[in-house]
Structure 1
Amino acid sequence: MANVKIAVIYYSATGTNYQMALEAEKAAKEAGAEVRVRRVKELAPSEAIATNPQWKAHVDVTQHVQEATLDDLDWADGIIFSVPTRFGNMAAQMKQFLDTAGPLWGQGKLVNKTVTAMSSAQNPHGGQEATILSLYTTMYHWGAIVVAPGYTDQTIFGAGGNPYGASATAGGDKVSDEVLAAVRHQTKRLIEITERIASPVHADR
C-alpha cells in the first residue's frame, strides 16, 4: 500500500461540512494515508456571522483548524473537498481559495492529482450535485483526475444516490450515519485510485 498524502479541504458555516471532513480524515487514516485537514478562510464579515448563533459558535470552536494554503495543494497526492451549496454553486469562500491556485496551475503542479468532492444543502435537492460539478469544472482545468464515487457501493444509495459525491442535508446537529458511510467509501475509493496511480507497477504499464 502506497503512503499517499491526502488533503481534506473544507468550508463550513455551521458544521455540516466540518463533520464530513472529519469523517474523511478518519477514513483516510484508517486506510494508511497521511492526512491534513484544512479549512478555507472565512470571508464573511463578523457582523453577518454574529446574526446566526450556530454560525458564530462553529467559527469559535474551529479556530484551532489550520487555514488552507497553496502548500497543502502542492503537498497532497489526493484532495478531498467538502463545501456547502450557495444557490447551486460552491460557497464563495471555497471559490476564492481555488482562484488563488493560479501559480501552482501555471507550474503544472496540480496535474494528475486525484480529487473528489462532497457537499450539503438545507434540503435533499438543494443544489448539492450542481455544487460538486461546479467544483469539478475547476479540477478539469487543473488537469487533475476526478474520482467520483459513482455507484460503486451500496452506501451511495443509502445516502441518497448522488454519484458525484456524498451529499448531506444540513440543519441538524449531526450528519446522518448513511451520509457518513458514503463519505468513508468515497474517501477510501479516492485513496485506492491514488495508490494505483502512485504505484510503480501501474506507472510502468
Structure 2
Amino acid sequence: MSAHVAVIYYSSTGAVHALAQAVADGAWKAAAAVRLRRIAETAPAEAIASNPAWQEHVARAADVPEATLDDLEWADAIVFGTPVRYGTPAAQLKQFIDGTGAMWRQGRLAGKVCGAFTAGSTAHGGQESTILALTNVFHHWGGIIVPPGYTDPVQFRLGNPYGTSFVAGMGGLPGEVELAAARHQGRRIAEVASRLAASAA
C-alpha cells in the first residue's frame, strides 16, 4: 500500500525549498503519493524587499500550494522543513504548528510518521537543535519519528542522523550530497509509512 507523504516547509531564500523538493522526490520514487506544500509567508513586505534573494524566492515559489491542516489529515507521513532561527524553527512554521491544537486533542495526528530537515548559515548554528525542537512537537502528537540515521552511505558524508541539514553560508543552495541525503530521507520515510499503512490495512 502506498503512503501519503506531506512535505511541508518554510523557506526564505530557497535553500530549504531545494531540500523540500528533494525530500518529495525521494518519497515519490518510493511510490508514495506526495504533497509538496509551502508555509505562507508572514514577514512584512519591507523585510522581504530588503533582501533581494528573499524577494526573488518568494516570487519563484509562488506556484507551490500553501499548506493547510487538510494536508496533515491526508498524510500518513509528515516531513517539516525550516531554516534555523536562533537554533529553533522559523516563526512561520511554528505558527502553522500552533494551529494544530484541535487535531492534536482529537488524536488525529497520532501514529503518523514524522521527520524534519533544515538549513542554517553556519556549520554549528543550530541545525541539530532545530530538528530536535520539531521532534518535541512529534512527541506531543504521538507521532512515529523516523530519522535518516546512518542508513545510507550518503549519511556518512553529510554527518547528520537527525535529519537532512545544509550550511547555507551567505545564500548558497544545497549541493548534490545534501540533495542526495534529502532524497534518501524522503524515501526512508515513505517506505516506513508504507509498511505501517499496509499492516494497518
Query: Counterpart of 2:37 in 1: which secondary structure?
Result: strand
Question: What CA deviation, in whole Å up to 9, does each residue of 1:116-167 have, x standing for no partner?
Answer: 10001002211000000001101100001010111212211211x1110011
Question: Equivalent residue of 1:108, what SS?
Answer: coil
Deviates more, 1:105-114 or 1:20-29: 20-29
Alignment of 1:53 onto 2:55: no
1:179 positional shift: 0.7
**Residue 192 of structure 2 corresponds to which residue in structure 1?**
193
1:169 aligns with 2:167: yes
Percent identity between the aligned chains?
49
Aligned partner of 1:77 in structure 2 is 76
Unaligned runs of 5+ in 2: none
**Over residues 46-100 of structure 1, what are the superposed CA-to-partner deviations in whole Å (9 max), with x where a residue is unaligned?**
0111000000010011111111110000000001111110000000001000000
Q: Per the alignment, in what secondary structure is the counterpart of residue 8 of structure 1?
A: strand
Is the counterpart of residue 22 in structure 1 residue 17 in structure 2? no
Q: 1: distance between equivalents of 2:66 and 2:144?
A: 24
Q: Which has the higher contact order (CA 8 A, sep 6+)?
A: 2
Local SS of the residue matching 1:197: helix
Provide TM-score, normalisation by structure 2: 0.96
Matched, 1:153 2:166: no
Q: Which amino acid aligns with 1:108?
A: G
Residue 94 of structure 1 aligns with which residue? 93
Is the CA contact 1:158–1:179 (under 8 Å) kept in the aligned structure 2? no
2:125 corresponds to which residue?
126
Q: Partner of 1:151: helix, strand, or coil?
A: coil
| Residues paired across the two proteins, number | 200
RMSD: 1.2
Q: How is 1:129-148 mapped onto 2 (pairs within 5 angstroms)?
A: 129-148=128-147
Whole-angstrom distance in 1 between the partners of 2:132 and 2:71? 22
Structure 1 residue 174: deviation in Å? Answer: 2.9
Q: Which runs of 5+ in 1 are unaligned?
A: none
Range moving further from structure 2, 172-181 or 73-82: 172-181
Shift of residue 173 of structure 1?
4.4
1:180 maps to what in 2? 179
Q: SS at 2:96's partner residue?
A: helix
**Secondary structure in 2 aligned to 1:199?**
helix
Contact 1:85 1:91 in 2 (8 A): yes
> Once superposed, which parts of structure 1, at least 4 consecutive aligned residues long, lie more than 2 Å away?
171-174
**CA distance in 2 between partners of 1:15 and 1:197 (Å):** 32
Amino acid at match of 1:167: S
Distance, in Å, in 1 between the alignment partners of 2:152 and 2:28 is 20
Deviation at 1:172, TM superposition (A): 4.7
Q: What is the TM-score of this pair, normalised by structure 1? A: 0.94
Query: Partner amino acid for 1:38?
Result: R
Q: Does the CA contact (< 8 Å) of 2:27 and 2:188 recur in 1?
A: no
